[in-house]
Structure 1
Amino acid sequence: MDHHIIVGLDAFPESAAAARWAAREARLRDAALHLIHAEPWPLPLGIPAAASDARRGWAETVLQEMADELRRAHPGLDITTQSVDGPPAASLATGAATADMLVMGSRGLGSVTGFVLGSVGMAVMHTTERPVVLVRSGEDALPHETEQHTRRDVVVGVDISRPCDALLAFAFEEASRRSCPLHALHSWPPPQFYGYGSAYDPGMLARINQSATTGLDQALRPWRDTFPTVEVTARTPMGHTAQQLLEAGADAGLIVVGRRIRRSLLGVRIGSTTHAVIHHATSPVAVVAHD
Structure 2
Amino acid sequence: MQAVIVSSFGGSDVLQVVERAEPAPGPGQVLIQVEAAGVGYVDVTARNGDYQPLPEPGFVPGVEAAGTVVAVGAAVDERWVGRRVFALGRNGAYAEAVVADLCDVVRLPDGVGAVDAVALGVNALVAHLALRRAHVEEGERVLVRGAGGGIGLMAAQLAAASGGVVTAITSSPERGERLRGLGVTHVRDRTAGRDGGAETYDVVVDPVAGAELGRHIEALRPNGRYLLVGAAGGAPAPDAFAGIMTTYHNSPSLFAFSLNSVDAATVGQAAAELFGRADRGALRAVVEERIPLAEARRAHERLESTPVFGKIVLRP
Give yes or no for TM over 0.5.
no
Which of the pair has the greater relative contact order for Cα pairs under 8 Å at 6+ separation?
1
Q: Comparing both structures, which one devotes a greater share of its residues to helix?
A: 1
Larger radius of gyration: 1
Q: Comparing both structures, which one devotes a greater share of its residues to strand?
A: 2
